[in-house]
Structures are given as C-alpha cells and as structure tokens.
Structure 1
C-alpha cells in the first residue's frame, strides 16, 4: 500500500460477490435514489459499530448498482493511515457483521452484492477536523469565506497545524489561520518532483559514493 506521505494511495477491494437472504423484489434495475439511500443508512447502522470497535473511523459508506447486483463501498481511515493488512481485517469483520444482520432477518441489501473496503484516496475532500489533521504537511486548496458581505476566495497553502477548531495554512504570504466555519471542502494538491531535481540528487549521491570508495582505498594503503 502506498504510504500516507505520497501523492496517491490505491484502494484495496477485498470483497466478493455475495447473495443475501433478503427478498429479490428490491433487486431490480433502475432502483430509485430513495431505495439506495435507505440501503446506505441500513448498511451504515451495521458497519459503523464494527469499524469504530476496531479503532478506526468510518469515513463513508456508499451503495451503487453494477448490472444486476449492488456494490457496497466502505471507506475507513485512522491517524497515521491504515495499511492493507488492517483493511483486510476490517473487511472480514464487516462481512461477518453483514452476514449476521441478514441471517437475523434484516433486509440490508436485497439481492447479490459485492463488498469493497478501502482507505481514502488523495481526492477525498477535507471536511472534518481530523481530515485536516491527518494531512499535515500537504499542499491544499480551499475556498475561504470571509468579510461582510461574505466573499469567497481560493487559498492554496500547506497544512502547518490543525486542531478541533482551526487550521493554519503556510501560504506564500506567510502562515494564515482559519476557523473551519470559514472554509469549504479542502482539496489535497498532488505534487510531482521535477525530473532534473531528481537527477541532480542522484548525481550528488554518486559523487558521495565515489568519495567514500577513495577514502577506503586510502585507508588500505
């Protein structure tokens, strides 16, 4: 799994096609948005206690149609990130909880479905204090609402600090503090190293190795 400090983090689908014991009547093409919303609420009620009990945060639960079956996507996160082994453990626990809910007579997801559990991607909007805290050091773009009447403006800065009430962004003009009430959803900006900078770093490393070899030879003499 890609580490948190890097630009991207791949998802880790761990689910498998499943046939639930619920009635087939709800498993028809073109299910209304209201049906999907109701299913998502039922899913969250079952899944959230499992995820929080394992020490993680449930960031999102979504359910969508994929042909004749549903795809249930569960996003989990934690301080310091969550690795693939932990994702696999959570996936098995969630799967068992859904099985138990179905066997007890609950209509969780009618028909066949596939469960996917993953960690958040870099495109996840920052909307909660913990999102900002977990992205300390990263470059973020956000809409700031300030003034009377309120005027929206785009601000890009690096997350220097974040707590439960405010975030400090290091901008080109210096550090700026904003309360979360002033901010729209933040977006992490993907940063790429310039190839010439990487080449220069490699050259420096090569020179250092050569110098070390010379020192060893001198000592042997």
Structure 2
C-alpha cells in the first residue's frame, strides 16, 4: 500500500470507527517534500478538539506501524466543517434536498462545476437540479463534492441557523 486515497481510507477507517466516529474523508495535500495527510471525522454529537486528539493518537500509531507514506508528513485530524465533503453514496443520501457543489473531471456537457439541489442518489450517480435543469453526475467523474452551508438569519444580527 503506497498511499492512494482509497488505500489510506481503507487503512484508517477501522481505527476511526473503533473510537465511535465516522471517517468522512482522507486527503493528501501539500508538496512531495512536505505532505499533509488530512483526515476528516464526524460523530453523532459532532466533533471537538479532544475527539480529534484521540483519533490522531490512534491513527499516528497505526501509520507508524503500516508506514503507507514515504518520508515525513504532517497528520491533521479535524471535523468536516459546514461545507463537509460528500464521498460515499451514503453521504449523498443523507443530504438529499440540500444544496451541494460538485466539480467534475472530465467536464460534463462542457461544464466542470455544478451547484444545486441534490434531488436523487443511485448506485452510480447523483441527480442535481441546477436552475430548474436536472444533471446526472456520475460518481466516477467527480473530482470533488461538498455540501453548501445554509445560513438563515433569525432576526438577530449575526445569528445563524446551521441545519
């Protein structure tokens, strides 16, 4: 195993799940000389700093033993944030009716970026409504997909509803 995204996910997921959390996504960022392995986790009650520290300790030990990445790298464990990545079909199903952003590679109908309401999810694609038009976006053509945070003012300046 030499550190592909899928390989890293397969390696790390059991350790995250064993601590009672969900592995949302794994990402390798930075340069070859100074890479960063980002691990996004979530839980039923959300995620706090202590949760991230526990998962980081667990994964650090596992990564030291398995050594899937050559050389030195930085491990970051965090919550997925309000604009959480959508990776698995289950992620998408959970957020049907919400607004998502999807970047396709290669482009679909001459277009790379789609931002609209998630209408449906099948085994191999999602249906996104953009400006009253439906687009079937295949999972294998998605470079990245994220939930678009929804902010609603509640009458008090600065307050928001993050549902």
> What is the TM-score normalised by the length of structure 2?
0.54
Judging changes above 3 Å, is the alpha-carbon distance between structure 1 residues 116 and 180 closer, same or farther for their aligned structure 2 residues? same
1:151 aligns with 2:87: no
Greater Rg by CA: 1
Unaligned runs of 5+ in 2: none
Contact 2:117-2:129 at 8 Å conserved across structures: yes
Measured in 2, the distance between the counterparts of 1:139 and 1:117 equals: 25
Is the aligned partner of 1:133 residue 2:100? no
Q: Number of aligned pairs?
A: 149
Q: Which residue of structure 1 lines up, in the alignment, with residue 47 of structure 2?
A: 83
Cα shift at 1:90: 1.7
**1:26-105 counterparts in 2 under 5 A?**
38=2, 40-41=3-4, 44=8, 47-54=12-19, 56-57=22-23, 59-62=25-28, 64=30, 71-77=36-42, 82-84=46-48, 85-99=50-64, 101=65
Structure with the higher strand share, 1 or 2: 2
Partners of 1:59 and 1:76 within 8 A in 2:
yes
Tell me, what secondary structure is at the counterpart of 1:198? coil
Corresponding residue SS for 1:140:
strand
Distance 1:48 1:191, change over 3 A: closer
The Cα shift of 1:83 comes to 1.5
Question: Which segments of 5 or more consecutive residues in structure 1 lack a partner in the other structure?
Answer: 1-37, 145-149, 203-221
Asked if 1 retains the 8 angstrom alpha-carbon contact of 2:83 and 2:149, the reply is no
CA RMSD between the two structures: 4.7
Post-superposition Cα deviations, 1:115-173, rounded to whole Å, max 9, x if no partner, equal: 321122455654542332243342124478xxxxx724565432244353443545653
Residues 141 and 62 (structure 1 numbering): CA distance in 2 closer, same or farther, change over 3 Å? closer
Structure 1 residue runs of 4 or more that deviate by more than 6 Å after TM superposition:
none
CA displacement at 1:94 relative to structure 2 = 0.9
Distance in 2, matches of 1:132 and 1:186, equals 9
Instruction: Supply the distance in 1 between the matched residues of 2:86 and 2:15 (Cα, whole angstroms).
Output: 24
Deviation sequence 1:27-49 (CA, Å, 0-9, x none): xxxxxxxxxxx5x45x9375344
Q: Distance in 2 between matches of 1:152 and 1:60?
A: 29
Pick closer, same or farther for the CA change 1:143–1:118 going to 2, 3 Å.
closer
Report the alpha carbon displacement of residue 59 of structure 1 after superposing the two structures with TM.
Answer: 1.7
